[in-house]
A and B are shown apart, each in its own frame.
Chain A
Amino acid sequence: MSPVAALVLLVSFAFAAICTYCLLQPLVGRPGSNATRVRLAVVSLGLGPLVLAYLVTAVLTLVPGMSRAAIISAVLVGLTALAVAGTWRRRPQLTRVVRLTLSHLFNARAVGPAAVTGWIALAFVVFAVLLLAVAVPLADNDALEYAASAKRVYEAASARVYPFVHPSDDDGYYGPWSHPMAYVALQTWGFLVQGHATQAGVIKLIAPYFALCTAAAMLHALGGARRPAAAWGAALLLATPAYLFAIVQNQIDPMRIFALFAACLLLPLLLRAPTHSLRIVGIGAVVGAGVFCHSIGLLGLPIVAGLIVAKARANIARRIAVAGAVCLVALTVVLWRLVDNVSIFGSPIADFGAVPVYQIPALEWAEYFRQSRGIATFADRWLAGFLAGLTRPTLYGVTYWLLLAALVLFWLRWWKPRGLLAGARLLWSDMRAWSIALFVVVLFQLMVLASLLVGTDAFIKNFRYMSTSLPFVVLFTVSVLAPASVRWVAAASGRSR
């Protein structure tokens, strides 16, 4: 990949992040504290490229066939317009925000042995991820199919060629994908930046970029660089094999997982929006960003709706109404895709039903999918499926075992002393990051449980669904385990005496 193109891509992401920060800052209520600004900035790092992707999709859908320079200019003008719209009433104080955020994420002040080893681990994992992204050519099935889609969108300079359900004699590519276009649009942007689509080039940086944004959000959610365990949390997330595979091989998931993580981190801020409609639009748009990433992003709807119902401060009917409205707004974000899907496939989300060849009984595709998935027995469903985090270390490493330890410690140290009911009530409405994380982990496992009880294999058929809640698992685990372990290590090194 050309270093210049890579730099230009990253600069465009940074610009999009700044514009997104400007756009979001009127939504978070009264001129916030420094903590609010930092959280908004960290989350904007990843939401920015998603806004960029949305604009690329919009430009390529509304005015197909423009020249490369025209598309890039149109997108940049769009980003600038969004930034201006956001800063109309309130000045963003960008330099201050950048300084605050960098200091929050990287200025460790005093470092003990726990922090030093944590930063070493994080540095190594980040190095490995970047090395693999830069050095290894694009070679995995899913990643190549996304890139093949983006290549055609780029060559036609039009998003209307998507999805690819009418293969021709010249180009036999058949891609009946009903997913919203975020990843394809970002890859198209990458091709626009580097000026060709014959090799993958800079588009290999997109998945690692979102992984690093998630890692930065994790650093932030764990209290920033001042906390000795924060780097450990970020490293643990990136090093969990399922997530590592997602970054390096499947490539789509870091983006949608980031979007959900970002939505949950922003929720407490967005709930304080100045007006009721801004509140609904703000949360809905951020959740919609997750749906825009991939159809699995729909999982974010029940999760965020659940969080609103549990943690917002209003009467229960109003909370349910807000949750419902948020889901509607989120779906509106991808409305064009859903409508387009209905006109092409006959349903808003098309899976195997969209492929005529899969419907031929003689080929027995259903039997093939069912058997090759290897989910047949009780043990398959519950032990290797529901409890995958504990029983499949090649996918989840030690992460879920640490979660188990964290749950035990949490029960002993936090919940039991407060009493069962009082503790539950506190936890239910608590808005701190670790509490949100616990809520999401439990809700997600309940969704898996419900799906298994209903009798579908939807959640357990591959590890991609299960890894949705991974950042929340890590956030809760490290939040709970960190204080005790850090104290233990510091005592040994003699600093706390």
Chain B
Amino acid sequence: MIARMLRWAALSAALTAVVGPVAYYAYSRLTSFHLDSTNLFLAESNKLALSPLGQMRLVATHRWAAPDRVRVLTLRQAEFGFYSRVRFISDIDPRLVDFYTAATLEQAVEVLRRLGITHVVLPNYPTPSYYNSYLQEIIGRPDLSSELADYSGYRLFQLRMVESGPVAEPRARAVTPLRGDWTAWRADVAYAVPPGVVSEEPDGTVIRSDPWLSGSAPEVRLTSGRGPVELSPSAAVDEGRISVGLGQRYRLQAQLSGSGWLRLEVHLYAEGEPPHVMSVWDGFLSPRTRTISAPFDAVMPARRCTSCQSAELRVVLRLMTRGVVRVGAVQLAETDAAAGGEGAKRSAAARRGWALRAPYQDMVSWGIEPANGGSLFLRHVGASQIALESRAVAVSQLAPSLRVTLQVRGRGKVGIELRCAGDERPGAAGVPEANRALLRTLDPRIPQQAADAARRPAPDGRAHDRYVLFPLPDRWSTITADLHLAECAPLAPTALIYNRDVLPPAATADLAWLELIAVRVALVTDRDPEFRDTAEEFPEFEVRSLHLEVPIRTDEMRRVDLLGPLR
């Protein structure tokens, strides 16, 4: 009897050993494409649009503005070769030999210009054709390229030089050598430095990772300055700390040699913010001593510290595989160019109190575009609901309605709503979920025939509670909407509300605190029920002016400029 049970158990174990890993693999492969019983047998193109894989999302992107004028330089050809609807050129194409052998940046740019390349696609792994060529310089400089999308590390850039003239090299204003302490640690044993990992040698600091089995190499990190990398240099009492001006472009120059996959990062620390990490170089080293010269913009999408002018900086070297890194001179050069990349646009918007609420931040491009006199823009790819929330404005709860006036253009549909700004202190009640997304837009004066089509009654069926998603005009138009106030919790005097506009003392004089609530204006783009993954259905808009009229006395209104600087 026991023998029989034992043998059945052995058979079941054998069955599990064979079937188990297959089941696990099948399950993980299906989930990696977001496939389940509801969509398993959809058409293939729909599944590609659903796939969360970065390279697939890149190809499923229909945001190629004028496909006949686009030519993508792709460092991963496979998806473009089979699925793409745009013209492309592979990074190992013989026509690019001149690009890789160009003596100067001008010559390299000229080759790209001659080939008519408008976009660049980078994969999420390092490739020599990127990190050993001028491509790295071109991608790093916002005056030459701008990032359009980042899908799990697969990034799409638009080149700017197609229309521009010669490539001016920004001059270095001030050069700061990084001296003093370096801190090394192994990523798997936090801040412990096992012997043999780091050594000081005549030609500089050396870190090494040389286990007997390459596959088991732990990541070794070296950071400038003292103390744990989670802390800013000043918090770690580092005397040789370096500050950078936010909104300025810098260039990190490092003399490196050795072997192994190295990731060079810059971490920025502003007061009260978690460190902002930027990868500035990513590639395999060789015994040849090279001077990496990586441009980067000192910008951080700060949420709390909207008035910070400078940040502290650490340089972090991450040796990802087995290898040796010899670190020679490292210096930081401040250039005379202002930051201009996507990050700068986002941080300009953040400094004016705007924040993005989106499930997938990397699918959204937004910020303040300096070119059009400081307009707020949003473009996104994907079918999810996202919102741009303004600063919090304190208003009286007794006000009948608030008026929002905006100048807007774009395509797709957008909604305007008022949202309660919650107390963000730890342990505070916050905003009840029901009030977080109050969709109370009342009768915006927008092109009437289009608005009617988009209106839907609210679930409770009340006449004035309407969720209005109005079609965006393609020319600049002024839209005025009277919005009903949300039922928000009264504002506590000590409440912590990020990006809050402070009322002038005169305005608050005769208002009791208990009557005040804090609200934000939100611009919402919603999932279109008819979404079919085509370019026209991704909303995008640009807002030139946006004012909220707040009653401060019975007969007096104050206009708050939501695109102006925060007070």
B193-222 CB mask vs A (1 if < 8 Å, else 0) is: 000000000000000001111110000000
Bound-complex Cα distance A492 to B53 (A)? 49
Bound-complex Cα distance A140 to B79 (A)? 8
Q: In the complex, what residues of A have CB within 8 A of residue B101's CB?
A: 360, 362
Q: Which of B29, B48, B89, B323 contacts A172 (CB 8 A)?
A: B89
Q: In the complex, what residues of A have CB within 8 A of residue B11's CB?
A: 113-114, 117, 489
Interface residues of B in 23-79 (CB under 8 A from A): 23, 25-26, 29-30, 33, 35, 40-41, 43-45, 47-48, 51, 53, 55-56, 71, 76-79
Q: Which of B4, B25, B88 contacts A493 (CB 8 A)?
A: B4
Q: Are A125 and B81 CB-contacts (below 8 A) given A201-B44, A360-B101?
A: no
A174 touching B92 by the CB < 8 A rule?
A: yes
A360 touching B100 by the CB < 8 A rule?
A: yes
Bound-complex Cα distance A135 to B80 (A)? 21
A368 touching B128 by the CB < 8 A rule?
A: yes
A355 touching B30 by the CB < 8 A rule?
A: no
Q: Are A371 and B128 CB-contacts (below 8 A) given A235-B18, A357-B100?
A: no
Q: Which of A114, A170, A356, A377 contacts B214 (CB 8 A)?
A: A377
Distance from A227 Cβ to chain B, minimum over Cβ atoms (Å): 16
A349-380 CB mask vs B (1 if < 8 Å, else 0) is: 00000011110101111011001101111111
A239 touching B19 by the CB < 8 A rule?
A: yes
A488 touching B128 by the CB < 8 A rule?
A: no
Q: Are A135 and B19 CB-contacts (below 8 A) given A172-B87, A492-B7?
A: no
Asked if A151 CB lies within 8 Å of chain B CBs, one says yes
Distance from A244 Cβ to chain B, minimum over Cβ atoms (Å): 6
Q: In the complex, what residues of B have CB within 8 A of residue A140's CB?
A: 78
Bound-complex Cα distance A315 to B48 (A)? 60
Q: Are A374 and B26 CB-contacts (below 8 A) given A139-B51, A147-B82, A151-B82?
A: no
Asked if A128 CB lies within 8 Å of chain B CBs, one says yes
A194-233 CB mask vs B (1 if < 8 Å, else 0) is: 0000011100000000000000000000000000000010
Q: Which of B89, B100, B128, B286 contacts A167 (CB 8 A)?
A: B89
Distance from B432 Cβ to chain A, minimum over Cβ atoms (Å): 41
Interface residues of B in 1-29 (CB under 8 A from A): 3-4, 6-8, 10-12, 14-15, 17-19, 21-23, 25-26, 29
Asked if B450 CB lies within 8 Å of chain A CBs, one says no
A357 touching B82 by the CB < 8 A rule?
A: no
Q: Are A362 and B7 CB-contacts (below 8 A) given A121-B19, A200-B44, A355-B92?
A: no
A362 touching B78 by the CB < 8 A rule?
A: no
Q: Which residue from chain B places its CB closest to the CB of A148 in the assembled complex? A: B81
Asked if B170 CB lies within 8 Å of chain A CBs, one says no
Q: In the complex, what residues of A have CB within 8 A of residue B127's CB?
A: 368
Q: In the complex, what residues of A have CB within 8 A of residue B53's CB?
A: 139
Asked if B269 CB lies within 8 Å of chain A CBs, one says no
A488 touching B18 by the CB < 8 A rule?
A: no
Bound-complex Cα distance A145 to B77 (A)? 8
Q: Are A131 and B26 CB-contacts (below 8 A) given A125-B18, A141-B76, A362-B132?
A: yes
Bound-complex Cα distance A132 to B322 (A)? 35
A145 touching B132 by the CB < 8 A rule?
A: no
Distance from B106 Cβ to chain A, minimum over Cβ atoms (Å): 17
A148 touching B82 by the CB < 8 A rule?
A: yes
A135 touching B92 by the CB < 8 A rule?
A: no
State the interface size on chain B (CB cutoff 8 A): 76
Q: In the complex, what residues of B have CB within 8 A of residue A120's CB?
A: 15, 19
Q: Which of A136, A174, A356, A367 contacts B29 (CB 8 A)?
A: A136
A1-33 CB mask vs B (1 if < 8 Å, else 0) is: 100000000000000000000000000000000
A492 touching B8 by the CB < 8 A rule?
A: yes
Q: Are A239 and B128 CB-contacts (below 8 A) given A364-B284, A374-B215, A384-B213?
A: no
B7 touching A488 by the CB < 8 A rule?
A: yes
A380 touching B3 by the CB < 8 A rule?
A: no
Q: In the complex, what residues of A have CB within 8 A of residue B322's CB?
A: 374, 376-377
B81 touching A173 by the CB < 8 A rule?
A: yes
Distance from A241 Cβ to chain B, minimum over Cβ atoms (Å): 6
B8 touching A113 by the CB < 8 A rule?
A: yes
Bound-complex Cα distance A244 to B21 (A)? 10
Per CB-CB distance, the 7 closest pairs between chain A and chain B, nearest first, are: A148-B81, A492-B7, A144-B78, A172-B89, A128-B26, A174-B90, A148-B82
Would you give 24 A-B contacts (Cβ < 8 Å), ordered by A? A121-B19, A124-B22, A124-B23, A134-B41, A137-B56, A139-B51, A139-B79, A140-B78, A147-B82, A167-B93, A173-B90, A174-B77, A236-B18, A239-B18, A357-B94, A364-B132, A371-B261, A371-B323, A377-B213, A380-B213, A397-B17, A488-B7, A492-B6, A493-B4
List residues of chain A with CB under 8 Å of any chain B CB.
1, 113-114, 117, 120-121, 124-125, 128, 131-132, 134-142, 144-145, 147-148, 151, 165, 167, 169-175, 199-201, 232, 235-236, 238-239, 241, 244, 248, 355-358, 360, 362-365, 367-368, 371-372, 374-380, 383-384, 397-398, 488-489, 491-494
- A124-B22, A145-B82, A363-B133 are known; give 19 further A-B pairs, CB within 8 A: A117-B12, A134-B41, A137-B33, A137-B44, A137-B56, A138-B82, A141-B78, A151-B82, A169-B116, A173-B90, A174-B77, A199-B45, A238-B22, A358-B92, A363-B100, A364-B132, A377-B212, A377-B322, A492-B3
List residues of chain B with CB under 8 Å of any chain A CB.
3-4, 6-8, 10-12, 14-15, 17-19, 21-23, 25-26, 29-30, 33, 35, 40-41, 43-45, 47-48, 51, 53, 55-56, 71, 76-83, 87-97, 100-101, 116, 127-129, 132-133, 210-215, 259-261, 284, 286, 288, 321-323
